[in-house]
Amino acid sequence: MRALFLLILFLFTKPVLAQESLPDISTEEIAAIESKRAGILAGERSMRVKASNNFDVKYYRCEWEVDPASYYIKGKVTPHFTMNAAGNVITLDLASGLTVASVKQRGSDVAFSHVGDALMITLQNPLSQGVKDSLTIAYEGIPPGNHGAFVTSVHGPASTPVLWTLSEPFGSRDWWPCKNGLDDKADSVDIFLTHPAVYKAASNGLLQAETALSINLTRTHWKHRYPIASYLVAFAVTNYSVLDNSVVIGGTSVPFKTYCYPESQFNFQNGAQNALNAMVQFSNLFGDYPFKNEKYAHVQFGWGGGMEHQTCSFMGSMAETLIAHELGHQWFGDKITCGSWEDIWLNEGFATHLASIYNEAKYPLNTKFTRTSEVNTITSQPGGSVWVNDVNDAGRIFNNRLSYLKGSHLLYMLRWILSDATFFSAVKNYINDPSLAYGYATTAHLKSHLEAASGKDLTYFFDQWFTGQGYPSYQVEWYPIGNAVQVRLEQTRSHASVNFFQLPVPLLFRNSQTNQQKLVVLDHTVSGQLFSENLGFEATEVVFDPDVWLITRNNTITKSSGQLPVVFSSFEVQCRGNGARLTWQTIEEVGADYFEIQGSDDARQWQVLGTVRAFGNSKATNDYSFNVEASSSRNFYRVKEYDLDGKTQETRILVAKCGKEKSDWAVHPNPAIDFFYINPFQQKSDS
């Protein structure tokens, strides 16, 4: 149903225009390119944010003079800010290799120190908290060349010069003074680029003017009026061809601009249509394109991958996966930006997942193969968490296996657990939350919205799959009984950080002769759990997780023709006066020895209350009971069965507050591993 839902949505919103298939790119290639561009080859551990947090940037006016034929930048940046705390010193990030000519406040020079990539500015007078002011920083120089934040190159048969910037995650300071962290978005920005008149300049927001300053120079003005993180500010300059398209989103005609090399017009025009289709699809799922009052653009540059600069993704090719990935970032990465590099999966995992949504709707026959390939990559190593444990290592931040693929498949599993309807409703609420939109978010914010929409506590899930490492392997043993089956489900883990992965496990039972089949979902809460299911036909084979919703590896399926283990068909507890009466029933026993009755006051530490001898070997229905004396603290009960060979299995946990106000309680998960939740509901009165 999930795949059908997305396919219908895609077909319903898809413009009826012919599309030409373009060479695609894998998520692994996207991540590898983004890791390279992030500066992992040199110096990333020294790239720490130096800007102070005693001021809040509201606006940047950026005036730059550049020439693609020259690796040099000259300009002025004017940040307007509000003081978060009283003081007379603020600090911005700026590479030490750039020369600051002056810093002015209200037209007058002020003192500054520029050491260790920190530009420390002493204001004319101390400013109180809440006071607004601005500074103008004039600077120039050769940006550091080892992080790929400021690049000159050539393209085309004539080796035409091209210049672009690309700052994620730490590179903004390499070419402009700003706050280089993930804690302060400017509310708006104006960008003025003076460049050779033979070129076009692309940047964030709406084009305001291209003014001829002389026969050789043009000044291009871009205005952006949405909050923006510093690493998403960018520009590119070369002899671009400019192609115009548009798409209606939420009743607004959104301009779609393509800035491409003249030799690439054919591919980039074809790729634009794929982006327009994806924009309609994503808008229907997550709300309107976040910057619909301005534009979206593809800007060609020299890397093989892409970068989701706000309103203008820089694109190395028109591969469909890349197009969908970078467009997806406009919601997940730009509209809401991860509040820490620890949470980069909120950017990259979501963008990867949106590209999968696009591809699965357009190319549904590839879905299972692609998901399986990605899961194989995720599980190719036993450890590794989605949570980034070293934010100074750009290679770890942009790790394809963990931040991109495992992050994306964490979302697959949430869709599987919650249902598509609940998941997409929750994520739409998250991305449009007024307290988060056009700002920063953490995993806790997403978790809160998922819990609000589903009514479920998902702490266990994020402990296991976000901060926890590794994956489960399942051992399925199934017993056919005519038109029914029984299943014993065991689980092993690849990493010691997780004691148990709690998941609903899908098994597809089939009859290869009659083509009958039934999907059975097992709520797996403890290893060794037994399940019974009436299929309505005789199964001949089982397929584990047929649609690849789960992250697993090395699963085994064994069909058993031997005798069945003991199977509990019921377990109840009822109050009798001030005591409790436990009753349970088995429908078949093979090699059973005895039952141990256990009680607890916390469902963690268990006390043996007594034992009952089992029938041992029986194909009949057998009833058992045990009376328990009242206890002021003991409320939890279970029965544990012991086989003659020492194997055990447990019933679910029941709660009874006998001798007090009578009530039943629901315990989840049940049986519990390390944690449980209790929900009360009214009990029927005793007879």
With b for 16 or more beta-carbon neighbours within 10 A and e for fewer, the 384-395 pattern comes to bbbbbeebebbe
CA 514, chain centre distance (Å): 41
pLDDT value, residue 672: 47
Does an H or E element contain 443, and which?
helix 443-454
Domains of the chain and any CATH numbers = 366-467 (no CATH), 472-559 (2.60.40.1910), 567-681 (2.60.40.10)
Q: Is beta strand 252-260 parallel, antiparallel or unpaired with respect to 296-300?
A: parallel
Look at residue 682 and give its three-state secondary structure.
Answer: coil
**Distance (Å, rounded) from C-alpha 137 to C-alpha 104?**
7
Least Cα distance to 447 among 462, 425, 432, 434 occurs for 462
CB 149 within 8 A of CB 164: no
Q: What is the DSSP string of 464-487?
A: IIIIS---EEEEEEEEEETTEEEE
Q: Is beta strand 296-300 parallel, antiparallel or unpaired with respect to 70-83?
A: unpaired
Helices and strands, counts by H and E, the chain: 11, 40
**Whether pLDDT at 684 is above 60:** no
pLDDT value, residue 579: 86
CB atoms within 10 A of CB 265: 14
Each residue of 407-426: pLDDT tens digit? 999 999 999 999 999 999 99
Which has more confidence, 266 or 664? Answer: 266
Q: Tell me the average pLDDT across 538-548.
A: 97
**Whether pLDDT at 16 is above 70:** no
DSSP bridge partners of 298 = 258, 313
Enumerate residues 6+ apart whose C-beta is below 8 A from 75: 62, 63, 64, 65, 138, 139, 140, 176
Enumerate residues 6+ apart whose C-beta is below 8 A from 501: 464, 465, 471, 472, 491, 493
Structure tokens at 37: 């561009």
Which has more confidence, 110 or 638? Answer: 110
**Whether pLDDT at 103 is above 90:** yes
Structure tokens at 192: 């003025």
User: Which amino acid, residue 631?
Assistant: S
Each residue of 233-253: pLDDT tens digit? 999 999 999 999 999 999 999
Each residue of 266-276: pLDDT tens digit? 999 999 999 99
CB atoms within 10 A of CB 83: 20
Considering the chain, what is the average pLDDT of its residues? 89
Least Cα distance to 114 among 127, 134, 97 occurs for 97
Which has more confidence, 636 or 230? Answer: 230
CB atoms within 10 A of CB 12: 10
Does an H or E element contain 325, and which?
helix 320-329
**Whether pLDDT at 19 is above 60:** no
pLDDT confidence band for 22 (50 / 70 / 90):
very low
pTM, to two decimals = 0.83
**Whether pLDDT at 14 is above 70:** no
Look at residue 163 and give its three-state secondary structure.
Answer: strand
**Whether pLDDT at 401 is above 80:** yes
**Whether pLDDT at 562 is above 80:** no
Q: Tell me the average pLDDT across 122-150.
A: 96
Q: Which of 193-207, 497-511, 553-567, 656-670 shows the lowest mean pLDDT across its residues?
A: 656-670
Which has more confidence, 484 or 399? Answer: 399
DSSP bridge partners of 533 = 485
**Whether pLDDT at 5 is above 60:** no
DSSP bridge partners of 520 = 507
Residue 251 DSSP one-character state: T
**Distance (Å, rounded) from C-alpha 237 to C-alpha 64?**
12
**Distance (Å, rounded) from C-alpha 569 to C-alpha 554?**
31
pLDDT confidence band for 35 (50 / 70 / 90):
low
Q: Tell me the average pLDDT across 566-585.
A: 85
**Distance (Å, rounded) from C-alpha 305 to C-alpha 317?**
7
**Whether pLDDT at 40 is above 70:** no
Structure tokens at 427: 């994520």
Helix axes 407-418, 420-431, angle to 10 degrees: 120
**Distance (Å, rounded) from C-alpha 387 to C-alpha 466?**
6
Q: Tell me the average pLDDT across 450-463.
A: 97
Q: Tell me the average pLDDT across 105-118.
A: 97
Which has more confidence, 658 or 398? Answer: 398
**Whether pLDDT at 18 is above 90:** no
**Distance (Å, rounded) from C-alpha 268 to C-alpha 315?**
9
pLDDT confidence band for 564 (50 / 70 / 90):
low
CB 285 within 8 A of CB 9: yes
pLDDT confidence band for 226 (50 / 70 / 90):
very high
Phi-psi region of 9 (alpha: psi -120 to 50; beta: other; left: phi over 0): alpha
pLDDT value, residue 683: 38
Does an H or E element contain 8, and which?
helix 2-13
Q: What is the DSSP string of 50-103?
A: ---SSEEEEEEEEEEEEETTEEEEEEEEEEEEEESS-EEEEEEE--TTSEEEEE
CB 478 within 8 A of CB 557: yes
Q: Which of 237-241, 342-346, 584-588, 610-614 shows the lowest mean pLDDT across its residues?
A: 584-588
**Distance (Å, rounded) from C-alpha 29 to C-alpha 392?**
22
pLDDT confidence band for 653 (50 / 70 / 90):
confident
Largest Cα–Cα separation, the chain: 101
pLDDT value, residue 302: 94
Q: Provide the Cα torsion 598, 602, 604, 608; round to 10°.
A: -20
Q: Which of 26-30, 109-113, 393-397, 472-476 shows the lowest mean pLDDT across its residues?
A: 26-30
CA 389, chain centre distance (Å): 16
Q: What are the backbone dihedrals phi and psi of residue 537, each rounded to the nearest 5 degrees, phi first?
A: -155, 165
pLDDT value, residue 191: 99
pLDDT value, residue 33: 64
pLDDT value, residue 4: 32
Q: Which of 321-335, 345-359, 611-625, 666-680 shows the lowest mean pLDDT across its residues?
A: 666-680
Say what percent of the chain tops pLDDT 70. 89
**Distance (Å, rounded) from C-alpha 320 to C-alpha 26?**
10
CB atoms within 10 A of CB 368: 14
Look at residue 420 and give its three-state secondary structure.
Answer: helix
Q: Provide the Cα torsion 451, 454, 455, 459; round to 10°.
A: -40
Q: Is beta strand 336-338 parallel, antiparallel or unpaired with respect to 312-315?
A: unpaired
Burial of 87 (0-12, 13-18, 19+ CB in 10 A): middle
Q: Tell me the average pLDDT across 218-229.
A: 99
